[in-house]
Amino acid sequence: MSAAAPNHGWIPFFQAPAQRAPLPALSRYESQKRRDWKAFVEYLKKHRPQLGLSRCTGVHVLEFLDYQFGNTKLHRRNCPFWGNPPDPPSPCSCSCPLDQAWSSLDGVVGRLRVAFEENGGQPETNPFSARVVRLYLRDLRDAQAKARGNAYTF
């Protein structure tokens, strides 16, 4: 005979939750890194032809950055706002292209560089460390600094 009370086919209204160890809260950096990695993997799945991580290059990283981002005005040299942002700051009505701020893209690339290796990629084949990506970020940083009227000097 069983010591347990008979169930009679009914399900209790309140059931004690299973005991699980609480997951540690992710840091802001870890959350951003996971979000960026998921977005990149989704980009690879949608890429035509479909692209595996092992075949990904720096050019694909630049395509992803263009696909995922692009909301900061980057004034051209012939724009009246070149080097002279509107005062007070306001949305411009010029036709200059939109681009993501350099500092944001630099952060995304840095997080994805780490995530690539955490997900089995080899450091020597890391597309986020590719020369073309580094040059793109450097050129973007310099162009945005000039468009704001100041230049980075290193």
CA nearest neighbour of 40 among 66, 71, 61? 61
Instruction: Show me where the domains of the chain are located.
Output: 29-148
pLDDT at 123: 94
pTM: 0.66
Q: Alpha-carbon distance 75 to 62, whole Å? A: 20
pLDDT at 40: 93
Neighbours of 66 (CB within 10 A): 11
pLDDT at 146: 79
Q: Alpha-carbon distance 39 to 61, whole Å? A: 12
Per-residue pLDDT of the chain (154 residues; tens, 9 = 90+): 555 555 555 555 555 556 666 667 889 999 999 999 999 999 999 888 888 888 999 999 998 888 777 555 666 677 777 666 666 555 666 767 666 778 888 999 999 999 999 999 999 999 999 999 999 999 888 887 877 766 555 5
Q: For residue 118, what is the enclosing H or E element? A: helix 102-118
80 CB-near residues (< 8 Å, 6+ apart): 94
